[in-house]
Amino acid sequence: MTVDAAPGNPGEMAIRRAGSAIARAPDGIASGPFWAEPLLEGRHDGEMTAIRATFDPGIRTRWHSHPLGQLLYVLHGVGLVQRDGGAEEEVRAGDSVWFAPDERHWHGAAADSVFAYVSIQPVRDGTAVHWMEPA
């Protein structure tokens, strides 16, 4: 059995300064480009990944799921969230949303508002997200 020696979450307290990792999200995971700032980059089972994401009005992710679930905390603006089989729900700054492990869902900005959130999603089997078809 091999042990993956790649670094995951820091082994001690770590401060990441505001704006030091701002980047465009990878192409193809949403209906348009958005900003994704990695806050925590876990790699090993049970470690956390976290990002701050900022969407322009009307931009939404593809359908997707998270192997160990996801907590989303709304920082700014108005967003829409939907779980497979449920209704679209509006969320606003200060609201938080839990998506259960393997629950199909999407999240994005309302048509007339930007949308920014922090999300936390742990890793299982090397990933924190499984992308699916456009929402």
At 68 the three-state DSSP class reads: coil
Q: Of 10 and 75, which CB lies nearer to Mn ion in the complex structure?
A: 75
Q: How far is the CB of 62 from Mn ion (least distance, A)?
A: 10
Q: How far is the CB of 85 from Mn ion (least distance, A)?
A: 16
Q: Of 49 and 70, which CB lies nearer to Mn ion in the complex structure?
A: 70
Q: How far is the CB of 2 from Mn ion (least distance, A)?
A: 30
Q: Of 1 and 80, which CB lies nearer to Mn ion in the complex structure?
A: 80
> CA-CA distance, 118 to 62, in Å (whole number)?
18
Amino acid, res. 35:
W
Q: Of 14 and 98, which CB lies nearer to Mn ion in the complex structure?
A: 98
Q: Binders of Mn ion among 52-71, rule CB under 5 A?
A: 70
Residue number of the CB atom closest to Mn ion: 70
| Residue 49 within binding range of Mn ion, rule CB under 5 A | no
- Contact letters (x/-) for Mn ion, 82-121, by CB under 5 A? ----------------------------------------
The DSSP code sequence of 74-125 is EEEEEEEEEETTS--EEEETT-EEEE-TT--EEEEE-TTS-EEEEEEEE-BT
* Nearby residues of 128 by Cβ (< 8 Å), 6 or more positions away: 42, 49, 66, 67, 68, 70, 121, 122
Given a contact cutoff of 8 angstroms between Cβ atoms, the answer to whether 27 and 38 are in contact is no
- Chain contacts with Mn ion (rule: CB under 5 A): 70
